[in-house]
Structure 1
Amino acid sequence: MAAGYPQSAKALLIILSILITGCSPIRSSEDSGITIYWGQNGFEGELDQTCATGVYKYVNIAFLTTFGCGKERILNLAGHCNPDYNTCQKYSSEIRACQDMGVKVLLSLGGARGDYDFGIENPSSKLYWEDLARALADYSTPEKKVYLGAAPQCPYPDGNLDTAIRTGLFDFVWVQFYNNYRCDNTERIDKLLASWEEGSSSLPAGTQLFMGLPAARETADTGYVPPDVLIYEVLPKIKTSPNYGGIMLWGKYYDTYYSKTIKQAVCNSSTVHDEDLLISMVSEY
């Protein structure tokens, strides 16, 4: 997903929200915003402090690294806490504080290291993710909607998640438009825009598209987009896409100014809708 710990990740991540109420529909024209990853650097501040910045619509907690087949679940939050000593329990109240601020908090399952049953480390593992998507979508009820999201690699189509995305079950797709030389802005910005257009035009109707970017130059090998370039050259063009959803950033430790600089340009509206459950399948290969 990103540089450092998750950059080398070659795994499926399932992202689940924690205790979110309501079931209003997601609409890209009103609900664009910024997503940030938090949890893999002990010097990035606390979770509730991240939410209190007022710049993020989604905060993804990374990562739950061990789960499934009766294994004891292990939460890896780098230097933030130690599950062996139950010091991670404090985040229950911080999650609730974030939700009270209108921020959606999600738990990322997987990561570069760990022991779990979801892995897409080679193209052959692209099988059956559409079945998993259908199984998860079946949990939706009139009272509680399950939202599905995917974070595939760029360029389109993703070698692992494309079949699942084409089912039309996904509400949003966060594409990694960095560390991908074939489609990021390493050579020129029009290559990045062409990649966005290709992905946008290929998504099923009703799916939001987010442009995934590094929050600082040092967090990615390629694909960093300076804020002024994003604001004046990229966003005016990608926001014309009917399925534009916003920007996804890795990661909070590196985001010292980027999100604050781009927030007004990213957002179409400050409207906040509540959802019950959001799940995202993330491709790494």
Structure 2
Amino acid sequence: MPVNAFDVSSSSNFVVYWGQSSAGSQKSLGEYCQGSTVDAVVLAFLYQFPNTKLDLSATCRTTFPNSDLLHCPDVAADIKSCQSQGKAVLLSMGGAAGSYGFSSDSDAQQYADTVWNMFLGGNATQRPFDDAILDGIDLDIEGGSTTGYAAFVSQLRSHFTSSGSKKYYITGAPQCPFPDAMLGSTLNSAWFDMVFVQFYNNYCGLGAYPKSFNYDTWDTWAKSQSANKDVKIYIGAPGSPSAAGSGYVDASTLASIVNDIRGKYASTLGGVMTWDASQAIDNSNWGAGVSSSIKSASLSMTKRRRL
């Protein structure tokens, strides 16, 4: 295992979404995995389900024969490259512009089987990323119905427990207003490893720090309501001024906020999530600055605790 392998227990992970070219263009997945800046990548998006459709914003244009399902060997090779460097690679379901949802718990459970077979440790005749095995699933549910997501997570986890030694993750990406309108009940009843709270485009975002910034509310949820009392909360931040309508702060300001949160709520902090790679990495090294700062501060705090 690489020395810098992704560590879910760390408070200094830097997670990026990739696949939507929100800056107007994007580098390959493999290029964003190079170096020590990024710890995990979330592929965006599986934007239609249970009628499965992927969109990686023109990074992949080929489809399986007689199908509109994307077939992406180049992305598959990059997934394996990222993982070989210790990065975790997950697939995000949903998004702001998708068409998705379940009609029942049974519908959701059946689709969990499909996701397991198409993207994770199972087998399917058509796998968009061939034999690359992703490290988990992210739920970025911003529309449709709230039906079935807890059942979906539970069914996926039943596959995880029977799959051997490989570690899989379930993550969610709620908006910061609490409780989240779409995922609130699911976050309380299903087991999530990480929650990437979107602290932007809302009154409780980073731009409102410290007055209305509500990490404390999410910390309370993690400790008292979450099914997983060890769940990690990430501070979701826009990677540039154009990445969101509001909530962008410069790298030094964000590092300062993260360090303040770490001092108050060390047990729940997982690090920073950013939307998205094309904005964060290409914004005058904003992403590299944030990642380096939070990692250095975390290391310094660990050393002080050992003295």
Instruction: Assess same fold via TM > 0.5.
Output: yes
More helix by share: 2
The match for 1:155 is: 177
Letter aligned with residue 196 of structure 1: Y
Alignment of 1:98-117 (within 5 A): 98-117=82-101
1:136-189, Cα deviation, whole Å (9 max, x unpaired): 2222326344432211111121122222212361111110000012x0143x42
The match for 2:205 is: 184
The match for 1:44 is: 26
Letter aligned with residue 80 of structure 1: T
- Pick aligned residue for 2:250 from 226, 233, 248: 226
Identity, % of aligned pairs? 30
Give the superposition deviation at 1:39: 1.2
Distance 1:39 1:27 in 2: 23
Q: What is the TM-score of this pair, normalised by structure 1?
A: 0.74
- Pick aligned residue for 1:121 from 113, 134, 143: 143
Letter aligned with residue 210 of structure 2: D
1:61 is aligned to 2:43: yes
Change (3 A) 1:201 1:116: closer
Give the superposition deviation at 1:214: 0.2
Alignment of 1:121-270 (within 5 A): 121=143, 125-141=145-161, 143-167=165-189, 169-181=191-203, 183-186=204-207, 188-191=208-211, 193=213, 195-203=214-222, 204=226, 205-232=229-256, 234-240=257-263, 241=265, 242-255=267-280, 256=282, 257-267=285-295, 268=298
Give the superposition deviation at 1:129: 2.5
Structure 2 runs not aligned, ≥5 long: 65-69, 103-140, 300-307
Deviates more, 1:207-216 or 1:73-82: 73-82
SS at match of 1:212: strand
**Cα root mean square deviation, aligned:** 2.7
Distance 1:175 1:57 in 2: 17
Change (3 A) 1:64 1:175: same
1:94 is aligned to 2:78: yes
Distance 2:246 2:155 in 1: 36
For the 8 Å contact 1:74–1:83, the answer to whether it is kept is: no
Give the superposition deviation at 1:87: 7.2
SS at match of 2:185: helix
Change (3 A) 1:146 1:78: closer
Change (3 A) 1:177 1:170: same
Q: What is the TM-score of this pair, normalised by structure 2?
A: 0.69
1:76 is aligned to 2:98: no
Distance 1:258 1:117 in 2: 35
Deviates more, 1:77-86 or 1:209-218: 77-86
Give the superposition deviation at 1:109: 2.8
SS at match of 2:210: helix
Change (3 A) 1:167 1:47: same
1:181-204, Cα deviation, whole Å (9 max, x unpaired): 2x0143x421354x0011112113
Paired residue total: 237
SS at match of 2:197: strand
Change (3 A) 1:192 1:228: farther
Distance 1:36 1:199 in 2: 21
For the 8 Å contact 1:184–1:191, the answer to whether it is kept is: no
1:189-243, Cα deviation, whole Å (9 max, x unpaired): 21354x00111121132110001010001111111122121122x1122113111
Structure 1 runs not aligned, ≥5 long: 1-19, 270-285
